[in-house]
Amino acid sequence: MPFITVGKENSGNIDLYYEDHGSGKPVVLIHGYPLSGASWEKQLPVLLNSGHRVITYDRRGFGNSSQPTEGYNYDTFAQDLQQVVTHLKLRDFTLVGFSMGGGEVARYLGKYGSQGVSKAVFISSVPPFLVKTADNPEGVDRSVFDGIAKAVAADRYAFFTEFFKNFYNADVFLGKRISEQALRASWNVAAGASATASLACVPTWYEDFRQDVARIDIPTLVLHGDADRIVPLNAAGARTAKLIKGARLVVVKDGPHAINWTHADEVNTELVNFLGKGQPGRAESPAPKEAVA
């Protein structure tokens, strides 16, 4: 398995697991909490068939990456992403962030600028600023996040069971757009994450990305479900789209947080249309429209 070393903790390396498939214009897919790069399985074949090189990686503390007890903040996450980009020598690439991953996209562009980055995509993402404050009345009351932190600290396994019900809006879509087995698979990935990371990532949702988002000067697509119970549309995606000049907002009707799974066809169609064709796909690959039908 390929890894990129991004730091050290005492005597051990901090390594990020990544996958790098296909050819053409690169697309970097950044996963959400508490999953891994494998959560993009419904997007991977479609993007490959439309002629793109697709890179996924596991955030520190999650998936197959190292599980250090430090570095769980967005400056470090953006630096980790920058090391992935540098290691793979990416040029003219698109950054796609889901949920927490949208924070990496925003902070990367805010910190390092858009040189080399051709486009950005935010899917159910946490920017621009989730917490309700005097100058951010559209946000979510901080007590909600404090409650999440207490639940994770008390019993993260029980927390994940309840969390994924709202992640997928299971009361609406279980047995229709997501199976019991797929729900269990997500729980298994979350259970394998670092206990430290599972708790330490919760306060990162307080991060204020407004200045980062204001720096974005490349074509941007924002995808968000109007039934998102984790990151509400009006507190996040709708505002991000307003803050980025020329950004396109696509609201997925009845979409929960995990629209990349439950509404994969709609998400994939929008992604392919926004990214355009990379280069001819593999032999006998279906055309993009057929791939997402």
- Give the separation between CA 148 and CA 220, rounded to whole angstroms: 30
- Give the separation between CA 35 and CA 76, rounded to whole angstroms: 18
The model carries a pTM of 0.94
**Domain boundaries, position 140:** 3-291
Catalytic-labelled residue, pool 99, 125, 194, 198: 99
**155 classed as catalytic:** no
Cβ neighbors of 128 (< 8 A, separation 6 or more) are 106, 208, 209, 210, 213, 236, 239, 240, 243
What pLDDT, on the 0 to 100 scale, is given for residue 279? 67
Catalytic-labelled residue, pool 15, 198, 228, 263: 228
pLDDT tens column, 154-170: 999 999 999 999 999 99
Total domains, the chain: 1
pLDDT tens column, 59-102: 999 999 999 999 999 999 999 999 999 999 999 999 999 999 99
Give the torsion sign (CA, 223, 169, 265, 85).
positive
Mean pLDDT of 230-253: 97
Give Cα 166 distance to the centre of its chain.
17
| Nearest residue to 31 (alpha-carbon basis) of 77, 82, 92 | 77
What pLDDT, on the 0 to 100 scale, is given for residue 210? 98
**228 classed as catalytic:** yes
**99 classed as catalytic:** yes
Answer yes or no: is pLDDT of 289 > 50.
Answer: no
**Rg for the chain, CA atoms, rounded:** 18
Q: Say if residues 37 and 3 touch (Cβ distance below 8 Å).
A: no
pLDDT tens column, 167-211: 999 999 999 999 999 999 999 999 999 999 999 999 999 999 999
Catalytic-labelled residue, pool 31, 52, 224, 257: 257
List the CATH number of the domain containing 18: 3.40.50.1820
Exposed e or buried b per residue across 74-103, where buried means at least 16 C-beta atoms within 10 angstroms of its C-beta: bebbbbbbebbbebbebeebbbbbbbbbbb
Distance of CA 44 to CAs 41, 49, 54, 237, 293, Å?
Answer: 5, 9, 7, 23, 15
What pLDDT, on the 0 to 100 scale, is given for residue 194? 98
pLDDT tens column, 8-58: 999 999 999 999 999 999 999 999 999 999 999 999 999 999 999 999 999
